[in-house]
Amino acid sequence: MNLNHVRLIALFALIMFSGCVMMGTKRIENPNLISKNRPDLTGPHQVKSYTAGLASKDYSTAIVHYPVGKGPFPVTSVSGGWNMTKEQMLWLSAHLASHGFITITFTQKEDVIFADTKLWSDGHLGCLKKIKEENKRPESPVCGKVDTNKMGIIGFSMGGSATIDAAAVMGPEVKAAIALAPKAVTQHNITAATMVITGSADTEAIPFNVKRGYNRIPSSTTKAFVTIKGMTHHDWLDSTNYQAIARKLITSWHKVHLAGDSSFQTHISGTEHQKDVDAGLFTEFIYKSLKNKANR
């Protein structure tokens, strides 16, 4: 056997070994895309999910994402909007779980042309009721891991309008609410720290209309109104760039106002936030905190 044959055999063995390693191990995410303090990037927690045992009269289907660990973890419901399914919001649900939140994401029970936001409001309320049951069900993967004193709500479009409605119904039991491109903000009797986000190019959740509803939220409530520059209604589902901006805002809000982690405040009103302002990410950003009245 000459030297060239030896080299070919060695090269073939190396390729086969590499292939076996790649096929036989779980894919590891790029460590540069995983960060504890970067709310737009994947968080430090490994994430698992399940759907068994989540049936309810209040929604069609649901899925729970949860961080691996002892807990207890804060929890938030998540929903999409008209003609959407829970799968279209998993870009956010799984991300939040990686940052230490349990999320329960649902598809609303019905979807008709003239759907009422009550379908989504009932879904949010049903999800938070279900997750409290899961916290006590022995067979549940999140049994004993849910911090039921730290509950939040997040919804998009019709689900965003319903977020405000559901938070108002639950009162102080909900600590934080985030309405993403809500079609309207009609319920103003809300105590949860509330962030309302839309896009400057959104022709469905028009900034002027959304802000008018936001302004009616009581001044006694910590709240924020954000218009992301150039974002449309469909960019929430189709644009990875705009989703990254949204993830930063959403994760930071829930970290501060739901989990009680003040280290993320910098992304709302501190140095990191100012970098985003200077970069021109927003056409408007108003933040009014009971602890530190601020307008930006």
How is 51-93 classified by DSSP, letter by letter?
A: -TT---TT-SEEEEEEESSS--EEEEEEE--TT--GGGGHHHH
Compute the distance between CA of residue 191 and CA of residue 4 in angstroms, rounded to an integer. Answer: 76
What domains can you pick out in the chain, each with its CATH number?
Answer: 36-288 (3.40.50.1820)
pLDDT in the model for residue 112: 60
Kindly give the parts of the chain with pLDDT less than 50.
Answer: 1-33, 293-296
pLDDT attached to residue 33? 46
Q: Looking at residue 133, what is its pLDDT?
A: 98
Q: What is the pLDDT of residue 26?
A: 27
Dist. CA 292–CA 270, nearest whole Å: 12
Give Cα separations from 292 to 191, 222, 226, 244 (angstroms).
17, 10, 18, 27
Largest CA distance in the chain: 85
Work out the burial of residue 110: count CB atoms within 10 Å of its CB; fewer than 13 is exposed, 13-18 middle, 19 or more buried: exposed
Predicted local confidence at residue 111, as pLDDT: 59
